[in-house]
Amino acid sequence: MGPSYARITAFDESHTKFASKYSLYLYREQGRDPLPDENEGFSHLGGIPILFIPGNAGSYRQVRSIAAETSDLYFDHYLESDDLNPNAKNYDFFTADFNEDFTAFHGRTMLDQAEYLNEAIKFILGLYANSEHPPRSVVVLGHSMGGVVSRVMVSLPNYNPDSINTIITLASPHAAAPLTFDGDILKIYSAVDRFWIQGYDNEETDNTIAKIAKERLSNISVISITGGLLDTILPADYTTLGYLVPPTNGFTVYTTGIPGVWTPIDHLAIVWCAQLRRQVLKALLEIADFESPDKTYSLDKRMKVLRKNFLSGFENYASQDKVANDKTTNHIFLKAGSQQINYVQEGQKLKVVPGKTPSPLNIFRSASPKRSKVQFSLLSSMKIGEHTSDVTEGYTQPTLLLCNTTDAIEEGVNIIDYTNEETTEIVLFNCIDISEDSSIIPRSADDTSSLSESSIGGEKSPYHAIQYNSTMIEPYDTLIVTGLL
């Protein structure tokens, strides 16, 4: 890690009245990011702009951990891989120095910071004016009160429409002010909350403020991350977005439920915790779309990526992203003989052991309509892989298919054929591969004593699981688990 901070002195009194009070910096990772040239200034910028907002009495240098690892991940992996997001680009991290102001104590200070940052975003976007694909918006990452400031920014008169598309907050008190020493804090919270509630209200209105709110908030996604029990400064209940942001645009999540993190985090460590920052920057690179003016994907795709990265995958809210609910999913056609099939009875458990699987296709028949409360769960110590058309060498990973038996298959389609010369009775299946729906969960084997052993950076690999309820299974009559041969 080789941090460097370039102060942007050009953002002066000619751009904002707060230039004598606050400063704007650009983070550069030495050896990774091109450094500003004394003569050419910031003409080298070619990434995606992101703004880090520190919290109460916070430092602009807190951006270092996540900014440095974002550069490492992008240059070490994304530049060399065809399997990762092809539209990703490294992020240019900007951050504000508020001289460690006490945002939580003083309402006027919070307004000053929000107004300053709106002007800063206008200036930041101007730095890219001569680039081939100039951005029109930024991503915002806020810690503690910095996350609240990001919501205040959108409600102010000097906010530039569409200049913010995604807000990720770490331990930010959205639901209520943490301290009430200053009456202005309560008034600001009330006014900002009212603005956001009006912005997501589906009812038609003639109210001018409500119309402005709807226009500004419609494309913004907001994720609130809380550290849970270890955050003794801010109770987790304060971080909820519950009544402020609808599920279409955001959600609140505990770090204990984030895949690969699985641990509570204290108020300060939430900025630099290795497991969390890796998951945050992974999400940032996956929502990136450098070719678009916003530099991120559409709201729907952004939310899908954010749900995949920050939710466990077992919430009802996350079920909308299941492969079975995607009408555009490609179908797989199987042809098998009875000797290749192992029928598993309803209620019976199947254990697949390497080298000891009785047959390649283990089939569960869907329950009868009379039994509505049915759930299918698959737990694997190996990654649940994509079904392959090569059946000659066997499978190295388990796969899971949702299928319907069929009497015939259209000509011209690709069929995975399990039959051989000894096959007498043929069964045809029309399937979808639901391996994408697998989620990682903490390892629970005898050789594991703590969650951290299988978390991100741990010594052991996590387990993988898929869970489907009766509603998702209902359109299909068969579930097929392919085992190791």
Which pairs count as long-range contacts for 340-349, CB under 8 Å and 24+ apart, including other chains? 340/418, 340/419, 340/423, 341/427
User: Which residues are paired to 429 by β-bridges?
Assistant: 334, 405
Q: Which of 144, 155, 163, 438 is catalytic?
A: 144
Nearest to 314 by CA among 464, 475, 166: 464
Question: Which residue type sits at 284?
Answer: L
User: CA 227, CA 341: separation in Å to the nearest integer?
Assistant: 47
Model pLDDT for residues 438-485, shown as the tens digit of each residue: 999 999 999 999 999 999 999 999 999 999 988 889 899 999 998 654
Question: Which residue type sits at 64?
Answer: R
Question: Which residue type sits at 98?
Answer: F
Going from the C-alpha of 431 to that of each of 194, 343, 403, 453, the distances in angstroms are 48, 17, 4, 36
Nearest to 24 by CA among 32, 15, 33: 15
Give the torsion sign (CA, 42, 62, 258, 482).
Answer: positive
Nearest to 339 by CA among 261, 263, 425, 214: 425
Tokens of 320: 């909308």
| 8-state DSSP, 168 | E
Going from the C-alpha of 341 to that of each of 363, 428, 430, the distances in angstroms are 7, 12, 15
Quick one: average pLDDT of 135-148? 97
Model pLDDT for residues 318-377, shown as the tens digit of each residue: 999 999 888 888 899 999 988 888 888 877 888 877 666 556 788 998 766 555 678 899
Contacts of residue 132, defined as CB under 8 A and 6 or more positions apart, other chains included, come to: none
pTM of the model: 0.93
Going from the C-alpha of 479 to that of each of 198, 402, 413, 425, the distances in angstroms are 45, 5, 21, 20
Model pLDDT for residues 277-289, shown as the tens digit of each residue: 999 999 999 999 9
Mention the CATH class of domain 3-321.
alpha beta
Angular region, 262: left φ>0, alpha ψ -120 to 50, beta rest: left
Determine phi and psi for 405, rounding to 5 degrees. -70, 150
336 and 429 Cβ atoms separated by less than 8 Å:
yes
Based on the residue annotation, tell me whether 144 is a catalytic residue of this protein.
yes
Is the pLDDT at 393 greater than 60? The verdict is no
pLDDT at 224: 99
- % of the chain beyond a pLDDT of 70: 94
Nearest to 385 by CA among 376, 375, 394, 374: 394
307 and 402 Cβ atoms separated by less than 8 Å:
no
Nearest to 244 by CA among 258, 274, 223, 267: 223
User: CA 288, CA 89: separation in Å to the nearest integer?
Assistant: 7
3-state SS string over 403-470?
Answer: EEEECCCCCCCCEEECCCCCCCCEEEEEEEECHHHCEEECCCCCCCCCHHHHCCCCCCCCEEEEEEEH
- What is the location of CATH 3.40.50.1820 in the chain? 3-321
pLDDT at 305: 98
pLDDT at 355: 64
